[in-house]
């Protein structure tokens, strides 16, 4: 009876986005345990994954669906917050299957599609204000992850929970792909090209240093995919702000290549996956696989 009551309480409190997060965190924790001796800092990730699982289960069990409570707010945003942990972890785990990255293959694909683009090489690193502008756009990825969501959270809770669910599915799919298809992108060239900076160049260098400067997560670009997906959800609800959102989205897409974080093919793949997951979410909702919700309750 206690088990049945616990399961019923869990199902009542869980949001749809919780399930892929629980599954992914359990799987990547299992990988960390099984391949402990082959990983860098496995104990750190084991502890972090356990904390993530315990925190998520706790907020689920405490969920009473009161939108004005801290537990509801934390519960709603926790999948997005945990994405940073899973991103770093998936890029650290990128050498479990293949010792080398697929960068030569990606470079060949890019050259086959677009030819030689060396004539752009003299622009990045030689125009400080342009360099700063595009590093600002690249940094704005962290803003676009949260600011549109905060607006949707307060004004369109239905769309917010759907967006978080689809965003979570998409990002976790990317992270799983990074483990089996690692690509570093041109990240190693960044500090050689952008030696000076005023604000956003040093800020992005600091962020990457804190994150461990991990490679292996370049293809497809999660920056681009997330920006495209979130902008499509935001524009669908607030068409009057479409131009503003599009400027930032296009800026992020260009910045990923200009700032030497991604190949052009990484950015294009990110555009494809962002659009694909957006319309997949719409399709699943229309077919009843992703149930609709009322304004007063979360998506479950």
Examine the pLDDT at 118 and tell me if it is beyond 80: no
The half-sphere exposure of 58 on its side-chain side, counting CA atoms within 13 A, is 10
Q: What is the pLDDT of residue 48?
A: 93
Candidates 71, 66, 75, 70; CA nearest to 14 is 75
Two tokens at 107?
């470079």
Residues 6 or more apart in contact with residue 13 via CB below 8 angstroms = 59, 60, 61, 62, 63, 64, 65
pLDDT band at residue 294 under the 50/70/90 scheme: very low
Q: Across the chain, what does the average pLDDT equal?
A: 88
What is the distance between the alpha carbons of residues 54 and 60, in angstroms, rounded to a whole number? 10
Q: What is the pLDDT of residue 277?
A: 96
Are 29 and 49 spatial neighbours (Cβ–Cβ below 8 Å)? yes
What does the pLDDT average to over 135-154? 92
Cα pseudo-dihedral 56, 60, 63, 69, rounded to 10: 10
Q: Where are the domains of the chain?
A: 2-286
Q: What is the pLDDT of residue 195?
A: 86
Residues 6 or more apart in contact with residue 130 via CB below 8 angstroms = 123
Two tokens at 179?
């483990």
What is the distance between the alpha carbons of residues 206 and 191, in angstroms, rounded to a whole number? 12
Query: Tell me: the pLDDT tens digits for 229-241?
Result: 999 999 988 888 8
Task: Cite the DSSP H helix spans in 156-299.
Answer: 157-180, 190-193, 200-210, 222-237, 242-258, 264-286
Examine the pLDDT at 211 and tell me if it is beyond 80: no
What is the distance between the alpha carbons of residues 13 and 51, in angstroms, rounded to a whole number? 19
Total-model pTM:
0.90
Are 107 and 188 spatial neighbours (Cβ–Cβ below 8 Å)? no
Query: Tell me: the pLDDT tens digits for 245-267?
Result: 899 999 999 999 999 999 999 99
Are 182 and 216 spatial neighbours (Cβ–Cβ below 8 Å)? yes
Query: Tell me: the pLDDT tens digits for 23-81?
Result: 999 999 999 999 988 887 789 999 999 999 999 999 999 998 888 899 999 999 999 99
């Amino acid at each position: 009876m206690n088990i049945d009551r616990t399961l019923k309480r869990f199902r009542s409190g869980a949001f749809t986005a919780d399930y892929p997060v629980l599954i992914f965190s359990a799987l990547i924790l299992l990988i960390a345990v099984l391949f402990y001796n082959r990983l860098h800092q496995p104990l750190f990730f084991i502890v972090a994954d356990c904390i993530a699982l315990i925190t998520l289960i706790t907020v689920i069990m405490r969920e009473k669906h009161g939108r004005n409570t801290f537990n509801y707010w934390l519960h709603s945003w926790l999948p997005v917050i945990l994405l940073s942990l899973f991103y770093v972890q998936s890029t650290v785990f990128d050498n479990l299957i293949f010792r080398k990255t697929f960068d030569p293959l990606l470079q060949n694909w890019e050259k086959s599609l677009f030819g030689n683009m060396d004539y752009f090489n003299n622009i990045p690193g030689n125009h400080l204000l342009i360099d700063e502008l595009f590093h600002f756009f690249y940094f704005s990825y962290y803003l676009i992850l949260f600011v549109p969501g905060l607006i949707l959270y307060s004004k369109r809770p239905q769309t917010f929970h759907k967006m978080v669910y689809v965003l979570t599915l998409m990002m976790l799919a990317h992270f799983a792909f990074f483990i089996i298809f690692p690509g570093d992108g041109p990240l190693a060239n960044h500090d050689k090209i952008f030696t000076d900076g005023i604000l956003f160049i040093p800020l992005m260098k600091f962020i990457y240093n804190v994150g461990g400067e991990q490679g292996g997560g370049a293809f497809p670009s999660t920056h681009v995919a997330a920006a495209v997906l979130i902008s499509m959800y935001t524009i669908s609800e607030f068409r009057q702000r479409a131009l503003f959102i599009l400027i930032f989205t296009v800026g992020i897409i260009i910045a990923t290549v200009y700032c030497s974080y991604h190949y052009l093919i990484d950015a294009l793949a990110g555009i494809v996956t962002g659009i694909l997951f957006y319309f997949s979410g719409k399709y699943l909702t229309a077919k009843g696989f992703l149930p609709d919700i009322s304004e007063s309750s979360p998506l479950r």
